[in-house]
Amino acid sequence: MKTLKTAFNLLSLLTLCFIIINCSGDDDTAGDGTTDSVTLTTSVSQLNFSDTAANETSQDRSFSITGSSLVSQIDLSATGNFEISSDAVNFSSNLSIVPNDVNGSSTIYVKFLPDAIGAFQGVVTIQSADVSTDLQVALSGNGVPVIHNYQTFNRERVAFGGGFSQTSVQSYNLHNDLTNIETIKMYVKLTCPTGGCDEWDVYANVKVTDVASGERYELARFITPYWNDNSQLARGFEFDVTDFKSLLNGNVELRIRTECWNARGYEVSVDFDYIEGTPDYAYYGITRVLNYDNGSAAGVPYGVAHTKDLTRSISVPANAQSTHLRTIISGWGQAASGDADGRTCAEWCFRTHDVLINGANMFQHDLAPLGCASNPVNNQAPGNWMPDRAGWCPGMEVPTRIDNFTSSMAGTTFTFEYDFEDWTNTTTDESFYPISSFVVVKSDTPITRATVID
C-alpha cells in the first residue's frame, strides 16, 4: 500500500513538471530552447530622389522591411507626392502585407510623382498591431522643369586651311510650341580635333538668321581657350538665349564662326534646352540695333575717326509691357593706351562706356576685370590666360549685358547712342570694339517688333 502511494505521488509530480515545462516553452518557436521576440525594422530611415521633371514619374527607389514572429497584418501608407508598391508594378498611397511576407524580409518600392516645380517631402509609415511603435521612412525630392533638348552642330570642324572653313551654316528643326517655354539655354562644346586645338585665344560666336530681314543675329560670343577645349565644363559654355525665342522655333538657320587661322581649329557642338515653365510674358520681339560683330577687326575702331554709326532711333510698339537692351561687347588690339598702368587698348585697357537714351546717360557698361585666373577652363598652358582682360577672358563666355528700362516705353520713340569712353589712339596699332546690340520688347498680347532706324 505504501509503495502504491509513493508511485502516485511521483506520477503527480511528473505531470506538474510537464505542465510547467510546456507552459514555459510557448515562445520556443524554433524548438531549440531559445525564446523569439516580435521585431519589425526597416533598412533605411530616409530616401532622397534625384531631380524629376514636373508631372513625370521618377525611377523606383526601394527599401526593405524585416520582421520576426509577426502574426498581424502590416499596413504601409505614403504621404505627399509619393506612392509605394510591393511588386514594382502596382503603386498607390496605401499597401497591406501579410505577416508571412515580412517574417524574413520584404522589398518596398517607392516612386516620386511631382506635380509642380519645387521641393517635396513625404513619409512612409509602417504599422502593425504586433509592435507598439510605428516605423517611418522620410522621403524627399525636387520637381524640376520639363526640358526639351535639341542637338544642332555636332562636332562640326571649323578651322582655316586644310580644306576647312572658319564658318559653318546649317538649318535645324527646333521646338515649335513656345507657349509654355520659360527659358531657352544654349550650350557650346569645343573639342580638340586629332592633332590638337588652336594655340591662340580667338574670337568666336553663334548667330541665328532672322527670316524676316535675312540678317544674322548674334546669339552669343565666346573666346576660345589657348591650346585646349572646354571639356572641363560638363556641357561647355552656357548662354541664356530666351530673348531670341521668337526666332528660335521651327526650322532655324544657325551659323558658327571662329577666327582660327590654322587647320587645327575646333570641333564645335551646339545644343539647346527648351525649359518648360510660366514665361514672364507670352510674346517676345527682338530687333537688331548694332551689328559690328562679324569678327574682332570688324568691330568699331577705338580712339580714331571712323564711319561706323553708333546712333539709332527706336520706336516701341504701343502694347509693350517690358523693354530692354541686350549688348555683347569685347575689346581687341594692342595699341599703347598711355594709361598709367600701361595696359593696351582695347584688349587690356579698362574702360566704361555709356548708353545714351534721348541724349542722357542711362546705362553704363564697365569693361573691367572678370577674374580670368579663376576660370574653370584652366588647362590653357602655356597660354597667357590668367591675366585679366577688359571685360572678357580666354576660354570663357563674353558677358551679355542687359539694360532694363524702368518703364515699358510703350508707344514711345527714343534715340539710342553707344558712347565709348574718350581716348585717342596716337599709335599706328589698331584697336577695335566688336559689338552687337538688340532691343527686346515683351507683352502678354501679340506684339510686333520695335522699329529701329539708322
Asked if residue 415 lies in contact with residue 342, where contact means CB atoms within 8 angstroms, the answer is no
- Pairwise CA distance, residues 181 & 176, whole Å: 10
Q: Are strands 451-453 and 300-301 parallel, antiparallel or unpaired?
A: unpaired
- Pairwise CA distance, residues 222 & 238, whole Å: 10
- Pairwise CA distance, residues 285 & 244, whole Å: 8
Q: Cell match 508598391: residue? A: 85
- Pairwise CA distance, residues 222 & 392, whole Å: 9
Task: Return the SS3 of 297.
Answer: helix
Q: Are strands 52-53 and 135-144 parallel, antiparallel or unpaired?
A: parallel
- Cell output for 425: 589712339
Closest C-alpha to 245, from 215, 270, 271, 275: 275
Q: Cell match 572678357: residue? A: 392
Q: Looking at the annotation, which residues are catalytic?
A: 201, 259, 347
- Cell output for 86: 510591393
Helix-strand-coil percent breakdown of the chain, rounded to 5?
10, 45, 50
Q: What is the radius of gyration, based on Cα positions, of the chain?
A: 36
- Pairwise CA distance, residues 306 & 209, whole Å: 28
* Run of H or E including 10: helix 2-24
Q: Please give the DSSP secondary-structure letter assigned to residue 164.
A: B
Closest C-alpha to 164, from 293, 271, 266, 253: 266
- Beta-strand ranges (E) seen in 152-246 are 156-158, 167-173, 181-191, 203-209, 216-223, 237-240
The amino acid occupying position 401 is R
Asked if residue 52 lies in contact with residue 141, where contact means CB atoms within 8 angstroms, the answer is yes
* Run of H or E including 187: strand 181-191
Closest C-alpha to 274, from 399, 152, 168, 120: 152
- Pairwise CA distance, residues 296 & 186, whole Å: 22
Residue 300 β-bridge partners: 433
